Amino acid sequence: MEEAKRIGGTTKVYGLIGHPIGHTFSPLIHNTLASLTDANLVYTAFPVEDSARIGDAMNGAFALGVQGLNVTVPYKSAVIPFLADIDPIAREIGAVNTLVRTENGYKGYNTDYIGLRQALESEGVVFPYAEGETEKAEYLKPLAGRSGVNAAADTARDVSNDNTVHDKNAAADGTTVSLSQLRGENLSVRPIHVRNVVLIGAGGAARAAGFMCGTVGLRHLTILNRTVEKAQSLANDINRVFPDMEIRVLPLSDAGRVGYEEFLAIQCTNVGLYPHTDEIPTTSTTFYRRIQAAYDCIYNPEETQFLAQVHRRGKRGWCGIDMLLWQGIAAYQYWTGITVTGEQAAAVRSELVGFLQNGKRSNNIVLAGFMGSGKSTIGEALAKRLGWQHMDTDELIVQATGKTISQIFRDEGEEGFRTIETKTLQNLVDAYGSGETASEKATATSDAHTDSGKRKAGAKGIVFSTGGGIVLQPENRALLRKLGRVVLLDISAETVVARLGRDHQRPLLQGPDRMKKVRTLLSRRQGAYHECADVTVEVDDKSPDVVVKEIMERTGRQ
């Protein structure tokens, strides 16, 4: 990224108010956008510790000429009484996160719902209004005559003229161009036509998601929440604005009773957020079996246990990083009137992913997966592409013991080998890993986010290839996450057998009926693999070069 412009007397000032805000990524997003669009502005954070003085903070910012503000917790509702005007959909949602300067004060908008919609549409989700099934003007009649809803809808769809899913980028075969393509992947995304949505949660994120459903013409919504009363309150608020929407409320424990044959699931709670990555909002197999696609508003980790369940069933699911990206881009467009291109959005995302992933853990990539998934081959190729060092835990064990893996299994058994494996992994963490958590890493001031994000994204690390059974011990799974970004190379039993058919050096595959052994071992290990994985990359029918490219993109290394 080019160096930021020098700040001068004509530089416009934007910022964020909230408390605490040391963890914010907003300066990174907006200062990167300013650099990419050649805008003479600077964005910083303004912590407001005293909630009783939020009005003073807004008046002071206006008096000092601050052109626009973002608002984060706990003030998204508290700022509303001090606004000169408010967008109607933001009023109905009951929260604003973007303030635009007007002649008499700030006007409040909510771009969270815009960010969610754009994130979904950029990955191929098609909503009813986009297909002409619902007349948008008629369906939004309760809010007609006000600029907010339709303007915001247009903003979400025009944030990037290069990245609008419908119309402009539609191909003759019905495929669409996604943000993934704009990030450099050679992919066409098959549209997912959504008629039903299930929300998990009834808090602030769920409110934005629920109203988003109304603005895109969806008629069928179910809200799952631990507290039914809170879910019913949200349903009533949505129905007040969108009376034609059929909304059902269920306790989260009844997730398996969702009546739709297929649906888009939007996970809006903090369940599964780092460091509590072993948590999951529901374990209902019926629920996951019916999911058409899923979105988790959490972006740390990239693959929560919720998304892991979706991915295991071969369905598409996405983490919340693109919602974070697009809500910021929507705010930037409200402030500046500048249209952000798809290429610029992809560049900001790369900066964001790089800082998010490298700011919380050491700058390493750890490859995990079943035998035959290509961890050593891909590890070597990835390290070569990155100009990094490559280490293989099995090779380190062989060097340290003077024995082959087969000899260790023969002499000391699998238990003895696993003990050596854990000790080796602990030594690697001590030497090259990080024991810091995301919150500890986030204590740096927000003003330094842009420069430090660039520095860490470009810093060298190590690519580690690990043994196929290293995930079996719980302590190993924790150590792997401390060692670096864990990438699971996901492989089918059929591909394993095809690749290892003539390999007789694998201790656990000795004897007849290899397919049965592989399927049994995969079944036992699958949950452990996904528990520690930050990113899952399928390797069936892919060359090492293709897998390497996907890993680099998914870990923000391009």
Residues 6 or more apart whose CB falls under 8 angstroms from that of 152 comprise: 87, 89, 109, 111, 114, 215, 330
Residues 6 or more apart whose CB falls under 8 angstroms from that of 90 comprise: 96, 108, 109, 110, 148
How far is Cα 99 from Cα 418, in angstroms, rounded to an integer? 56
How far is Cα 241 from Cα 315, in angstroms, rounded to an integer? 32
Which of 76, 375, 482, 549 is catalytic? The answer is: 76
Q: How far is CA 31 from the centre of its chain?
A: 21
Residue whose pair of structure tokens reads 């988003």 in the numeric block:
212
How far is Cα 130 from Cα 416, in angstroms, rounded to an integer? 60
* Structural tokens at position 183: 């990030």
23, 135, 7, 42: which is closest to 332 by C-alpha? 42
In 319-388, beta strands by DSSP E: 365-369
The number of beta carbons lying within 10 Å of the beta carbon of residue 120 is: 26
DSSP calls for 390-428:
EEEHHHHHHHHHSS-HHHHHHHHHHHHHHHHHHHHHHHH
* Structural tokens at position 464: 């580690």
Peptide bond into 74 cis (omega under 30): yes
How far is Cα 50 from Cα 29, in angstroms, rounded to an integer? 26
| Cα distances (angstroms) measured from residue 444 to each of 300, 441, 452 | 18, 7, 10
163, 209, 191, 175: which is closest to 348 by C-alpha? 163
Identify the DSSP state of 271: T
* Structural tokens at position 152: 């915001």
H/E stretch holding 499:
helix 493-500
Contact 479, 425 (CB under 8 A): yes
Q: Is 76 a known active-site residue?
A: yes
The SS3 assignment for 354 reads helix
Residues 6 or more apart whose CB falls under 8 angstroms from that of 380 comprise: 390, 463, 465
How far is Cα 9 from Cα 150, in angstroms, rounded to an integer? 36
Residues 6 or more apart whose CB falls under 8 angstroms from that of 159 comprise: 114, 118, 326, 329, 330, 333, 339, 340, 345
Judge residue 81's burial from the number of C-beta atoms within 10 Å of its C-beta, 0-12 exposed, 13-18 middle, 19 or more buried: exposed
Active site residues: 76
